[in-house]
């Protein structure tokens, strides 16, 4: 367990600890011995190797076809590009309300890397031409360098051409007509509809308004298909089919988006301080990271107590986080889950985690709480299981975020990311209420509506400055802390008569 590191060793992994430590050793070095609750993983962990992505120099004009949620797509793709060594530049054509974006990506390899991770983008294509009318598209295609086309149009190759129309359905005859109009392209290969070597797509954008579909497309594109995104993960990891779930288990799609915002990569260590049923560990483990978490709830960590499924009273014998990871063949990435209160970190000083990805309680479906002492004003004494009691006192939302940011600042590696959901009462929202810390840079802030007056924001922050003890509370003094004390009343506002009345009025209006 000690792995040769003293109780106050610096970041495990430095030469003071000898050879590079395994993920489990890094984790073990970080646990403060007096606070360890339990460490149950006996699995073997392979050694840590940093992931590198090759960057080629030639430019590839790619085009992504997106799923919904424009701002989250944008942030996901930005994060993934930077993970692969690329970056967004002024050359990208991002029209937030368009289902198609034009990106400049340094290589096809990078485009494939992006698509191996994204759940927001559907497909990526090498763009050969585009325009606001068929004429503009054909002119643009005639300008595309022939030497770039020829490798895919050889006489000994096979191909097929597809057409996709966004917000409009065409008849088969209309589709064939549009495909035939491309006969000026120097196709020399044979058409093979079943198993072609190269697939080309005509993509037509008829706008976003289903009640106002124009006769002609507002933009047309033609390109060579490169790769599809990972949207099938949303189905294969669906919470509905998951072994162990709770009332607040994180939706599979959002879990993958969060892991992508966190730029999780193989051999990382990812931590969730409000782990619940471990929904957020699963997506990180899928991307090859070692995962661990803590939660104040003994029953959740040990898979005991009442079941959240209909028609099932108690959790079954193998309903726990480990079983969830096993269900997806990811058990080898599971470090452990511990019972711990996030307001009292159990970790030794020193940077440990490559990413912290979490969904703190907002008090809507589960109460935020922390361990109380007998001396404190005790709100309740809960009997958790036969032998486990804890005294809980309420944990204000502002304190949860304050503690979370401080924890991230202290325990993330440099460049590591903190990704979490922040509940928002929309009428009072301004950017100022986003909690800040001098060691963490705000990377993105995307909204997901919960009701007409409430939403949650997916906040991504990156550690950009070493944590010094004097940073601990310094930012409380600079006036940034006061605004986010407003988060404390989120629960009251969510359930307030005002919100209910507005919701009722909206419902009445819809009738």
Ligand X SMILES: C[S@@+](CC[C@H](N)C(=O)[O-])C[C@H]1O[C@@H](n2cnc3c(N)ncnc32)[C@H](O)[C@@H]1O
Binding site for ligand X (CB under 6 A): 246, 248-250, 273-274, 276-277, 279-280, 294-297, 300, 341-343, 359, 361, 366, 368-370, 395
Our CB check for ligand X shows the closer of 136 and 366 to be: 366
Q: What is d(CA 9, CA 122) in angstroms, rounded to the nearest whole number? A: 45
Our CB check for ligand X shows the closer of 62 and 273 to be: 273
Q: How many CB atoms lie under 10 A from the CB of residue 334?
A: 24
Pairing of strands 412-425, 454-463: antiparallel
Q: What is d(CA 177, CA 339) in angstroms, rounded to the nearest whole number? A: 64
Per-residue DSSP letter, 499: H
Instruction: Return the half-sphere exposure (C-beta side, CA atoms, 13 A cut-off) of residue 22.
Output: 13
Closest separation in Å from C-beta 496 to ligand X: 21
Q: What is the CA radius of gyration of the chain?
A: 26
Our CB check for ligand X shows the closer of 280 and 289 to be: 280
Closest separation in Å from C-beta 1 to ligand X: 23
Q: What is d(CA 369, CA 298) in angstroms, rounded to the nearest whole number? A: 13
Closest separation in Å from C-beta 67 to ligand X: 22
Closest CA to 475 of 397, 404, 406, 398: 406
Our CB check for ligand X shows the closer of 382 and 432 to be: 382
Our CB check for ligand X shows the closer of 70 and 270 to be: 270
Closest separation in Å from C-beta 294 to ligand X: 6
Q: How many CB atoms lie under 10 A from the CB of residue 310?
A: 5
431 contact partners, CB below 8 Å, separation of at least 6: 445
Our CB check for ligand X shows the closer of 276 and 350 to be: 276
- For residues 130 and 220, the answer to whether their CB atoms sit within 8 Å is yes
Closest separation in Å from C-beta 367 to ligand X: 7
Q: What is d(CA 479, CA 294) in angstroms, rounded to the nearest whole number? A: 31
- For residues 63 and 124, the answer to whether their CB atoms sit within 8 Å is yes
Closest CA to 292 of 310, 311, 275, 312: 275
Closest separation in Å from C-beta 338 to ligand X: 10
3-state SS, residue 426: helix
Our CB check for ligand X shows the closer of 68 and 365 to be: 365
Closest separation in Å from C-beta 231 to ligand X: 20
Q: What is d(CA 395, CA 403) in angstroms, rounded to the nearest whole number? A: 11
Our CB check for ligand X shows the closer of 344 and 501 to be: 344
Closest separation in Å from C-beta 391 to ligand X: 12
Q: What is d(CA 14, CA 308) in angstroms, rounded to the nearest whole number? A: 44
3-state SS, residue 94: coil
Our CB check for ligand X shows the closer of 178 and 396 to be: 396
Q: At what angle do helices 279-286 and 252-261 cross, to 10 degrees?
A: 60
Closest separation in Å from C-beta 13 to ligand X: 26
Closest separation in Å from C-beta 192 to ligand X: 45
Q: What is d(CA 494, CA 425) in angstroms, rounded to the nearest whole number? A: 7
Our CB check for ligand X shows the closer of 223 and 363 to be: 363
């Amino acid at each position: 367990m000690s792995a040769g590191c003293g109780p106050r060793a610096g970041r495990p992994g430095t030469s003071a600890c000898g050879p590079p430590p395994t993920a489990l050793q890094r984790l073990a070095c970080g646990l403060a011995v007096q606070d360890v609750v339990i460490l149950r993983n006996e699995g073997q962990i392979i050694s840590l190797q940093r992931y590198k992505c090759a960057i080629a120099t030639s430019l590839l004009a790619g085009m992504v076809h997106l799923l919904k949620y424009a701002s989250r797509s944008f942030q996901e793709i930005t994060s993934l590009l930077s993970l692969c060594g690329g970056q967004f530049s002024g050359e990208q054509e991002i029209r937030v309300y368009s289902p198609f974006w034009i990106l400049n990506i340094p290589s096809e390899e990078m485009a494939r890397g992006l698509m191996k991770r994204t759940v927001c983008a559907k497909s990526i294509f090498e763009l050969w031409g585009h325009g606001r009318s068929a004429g503009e598209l054909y002119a643009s295609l005639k300008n595309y360098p022939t030497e770039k086309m020829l490798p895919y149009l050889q006489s000994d190759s096979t191909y097929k051409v597809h057409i996709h129309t966004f917000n409009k359905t065409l008849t088969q005859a209309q589709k064939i007509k549009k495909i035939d109009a491309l006969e000026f392209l120097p196709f020399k290969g044979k058409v093979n509809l079943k198993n072609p070597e190269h697939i080309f797509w005509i993509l037509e954008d008829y706008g976003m308004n289903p009640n106002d579909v124009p006769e002609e497309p507002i933009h047309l594109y033609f390109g060579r298909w490169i790769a599809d995104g990972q949207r099938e993960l949303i189905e294969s990891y669906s919470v509905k089919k998951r072994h162990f779930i709770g009332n607040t288990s994180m939706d599979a799609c959002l879990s993958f988006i969060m892991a992508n915002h966190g730029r999780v990569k193989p051999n990382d260590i990812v931590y969730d301080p409000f782990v619940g049923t471990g929904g957020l560990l699963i997506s990180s483990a899928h991307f090859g990271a070692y995962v661990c978490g803590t939660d104040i709830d003994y029953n959740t960590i040990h898979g005991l107590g009442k079941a959240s499924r209909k028609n099932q009273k108690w959790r079954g014998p193998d309903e726990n986080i480990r079983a969830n990871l096993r269900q997806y063949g990811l058990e080898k990435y599971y470090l452990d889950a511990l019972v711990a209160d996030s307001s009292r970190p159990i970790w030794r000083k020193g940077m440990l985690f490559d990413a912290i990805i979490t969904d703190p309680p907002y008090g809507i479906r589960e109460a935020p709480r922390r361990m109380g002492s007998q001396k404190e004003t005790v709100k309740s004494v809960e009997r958790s299981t036969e032998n486990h009691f804890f005294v809980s006192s309420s944990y204000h939302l502002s304190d949860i975020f304050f503690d979370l940011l401080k924890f991230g600042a202290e325990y993330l590696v440099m460049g590591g990311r903190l990704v979490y959901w922040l509940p928002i009462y929309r009428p009072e929202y301004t950017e100022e209420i986003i909690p800040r810390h001098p060691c963490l840079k705000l990377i993105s802030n995307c909204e997901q509506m919960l009701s007409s007056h409430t939403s949650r924001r997916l906040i991504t922050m990156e550690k950009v400055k070493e944590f010094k003890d004097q940073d601990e509370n310094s930012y409380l003094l600079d006036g940034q802390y006061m605004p986010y004390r407003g988060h404390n009343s989120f629960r009251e506002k969510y359930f307030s008569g005002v919100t209910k009345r507005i919701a009722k009025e909206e419902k009445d209006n819809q009738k």
